[in-house]
Amino acid sequence: MLELVLGLMALGITTFGYVLVQLANSSDIPPDLWLILAGVIGLFVLAHLAVRKFAPEADPTLLPLVAFLTGFGFMLISRLDRDLARVQAVWALVGVLAFVVTLAVVKRIRTLERYRYTFLLLGVLALILPLFPGVGEEINGARLWVRFGPLNFQPGEAAKVLLVIFFAAYLVDKRELLKEGTRRIGRMSLPDPKYLGPLLLAWGASVLIMVRQKDLGSSLLFFAVFTAMLYITTERVSYLLVGLVLFLGGATIAYHLFTHVQERVSTWHNPWPVAQNEGFQLVQSLFAFGSGGFAGSGLGLGNPTTIPNVATDFVFSAVGEELGLIGGVAIIVAVMLMCGSGYRIAVQSERPFSKLFAAGLTTIIGLQTFVIIGGVTRVIPLTGVTLPFVSYGGSSLVANFIIIALLIRISNDNATSTAVAANLEPTGARSDAAPPVRRR
């Protein structure tokens, strides 16, 4: 019941925002309001019923947070581009169906651990698929897309989940060997090099993405997630330092060899000299945040459409302009609550694979949010990743719905295990107690 109430409250907030967006352009209530409202509520109810049937003991806060962010994103996209909003609505339906199918198919999360190398193969294939001639497609300077007839998607979004499954299973299996070093370099003890294969594989994949696919964001995201998982497994700060050195080394080499990396870094460092060409997006984003101020200009009353690709890479800039600091903080708080729930699920997990898998999935969402918000606010070089559940993008939306479904499955498994242990505890306590005295 709590999940349903919170979800309907989230949908009510986003529906009210949708009405405000439409009233900014017209004095009448939009005629499609009831159809939109029925569709949004229908999708949430479908997802809620799936959780009640397949994972009734799961955390009740994850799905309402997803409903809020997805509804908020649809509201913004409908304000920015009505055609993209219609497409996003279709992808939201596909994402909810993927959410339901994942809950129905993955009955036990530990079954994924058995097929680790299959997921590795599928993840690497999805990662390099855009590089294949005749299949891969370059859009907006990044070769991340694959086209099969009318279908156009980013296989790298699926690769994130597939590779996290493999890394979680591998690191759990080798955690003792990785934790206890067998070779010393100065004061640092390292394990046998053959057990560091996954870290080197992640480093190589991140460099490949950065160089061949021209995507700094995905490169940083992949490597940071896997380094974080290695640290969570071993609790050794030395792995964080080694990972940082590897990434900085790869980035430095790429910077000196490839012009597109140099352009991204120089634009981040000082976008004003190139404000009319390479730095146009970033400069317009900064103007949007500046004009939004504390409370924003109001939904539908700003001018965020001057930013190219505002519905995808720069949707947070639109939030900053029309909803100001308040709206931006609301988005960040919602993502932080989602990540907090994910890490709580990881902490509550008794099985090592479930614990690390939940932490890895949550880290994906948190780091992806940091990378895109940091890029549009000029904290780090600008990247092309999406803001989870908010930005326009079908591949990302579907992948994130699958991530939430897996977290809900782990949460339900945790609650079930706790309930079973609680039911067994009184029996064990009675077995240790003194036998009752029989009265004559």
Contact 25, 77 (CB under 8 A): no
CA 296/CA 301 separation, integer angstroms: 9
Coil, helix or strand at residue 153 = strand
Report helix angle 237-257 to 216-234, nearest 10.
160
Q: What is the pLDDT of residue 434?
A: 47
Report the number of secondary-structure helices (H) and strands (E) in the chain: 16, 5
* CA 44 to each of CA 54, 61, 74, 129, 319: distance values in angstroms, whole numbers, following the listed order: 15, 13, 14, 33, 24
CA 351/CA 172 separation, integer angstroms: 10
CA 358/CA 107 separation, integer angstroms: 16
Task: Classify each residue of 90-105 as buried b or exposed e, where b means 16 or more C-beta atoms within 10 Å of its C-beta.
Answer: ebbeebbbbbbebbee
Residue 432: phi, psi to the nearest 5? -90, -10
358: closest CA among 375, 340, 336, 379? Answer: 340
59: closest CA among 437, 337, 427? Answer: 337
Task: Classify each residue of 393-406 as buried b or exposed e, where b means 16 or more C-beta atoms within 10 Å of its C-beta.
Answer: bbbbbbbbbbbbbb
Q: What is the pLDDT of residue 216?
A: 67
Residue 392 tokens read as 């326009």
CA 370/CA 222 separation, integer angstroms: 13
What strand order describes the sheet that includes 151-153? 136-139, 142-148, 151-153
Q: Where exactly are the structural domains of the chain? A: 2-415
Report helix angle 2-23 to 33-54, nearest 10.
160
Residue 390: phi, psi to the nearest 5? -105, -45
In the beta sheet, which residues pair with residue 136?
146
CA 308/CA 226 separation, integer angstroms: 32
Q: What is the pLDDT of residue 250?
A: 74
CA 63/CA 345 separation, integer angstroms: 14
Q: What is the pLDDT of residue 159?
A: 84
Q: What is the pLDDT of residue 428?
A: 44
Contact 137, 321 (CB under 8 A): no
Q: What is the pLDDT of residue 68?
A: 92
Q: Count the neighbouring beta carbons within 10 Å of the beta carbon of residue 426.
A: 9
- Tens digit of each residue's pLDDT, the chain (440 residues): 788 888 888 888 888 887 887 777 776 766 766 777 788 888 888 999 999 999 998 899 999 999 999 989 988 888 888 788 888 888 999 999 999 999 999 988 888 988 888 888 888 888 778 777 777 776 665 666 677 766 777 887 888 898 899 889 888 888 777 776 656 666 666 666 666 666 666 666 666 666 666 666 677 787 788 888 888 888 888 778 877 887 788 778 777 877 777 888 888 888 888 888 888 888 999 999 998 888 888 888 888 888 888 888 899 999 999 999 999 999 999 999 999 999 999 999 988 899 999 999 999 999 999 989 988 898 888 777 789 999 988 888 999 999 999 999 999 988 887 777 666 654 444 444 445 444 44
CA 144/CA 246 separation, integer angstroms: 23
Contact 411, 365 (CB under 8 A): no
CA 169/CA 190 separation, integer angstroms: 21
Contact 279, 272 (CB under 8 A): yes
CA 339/CA 39 separation, integer angstroms: 27
Residue 327 tokens read as 């709206």
Q: What is the pLDDT of residue 206?
A: 62
Q: Tell me: the pLDDT tens digits for 203-246? A: 666 666 666 666 666 777 877 888 888 888 888 887 788 778 87
284: closest CA among 264, 258, 314? Answer: 314
Task: Classify each residue of 228-251 as buried b or exposed e, where b means 16 or more C-beta atoms within 10 Å of its C-beta.
Answer: bbbebbbebeebeebbeebbeebb
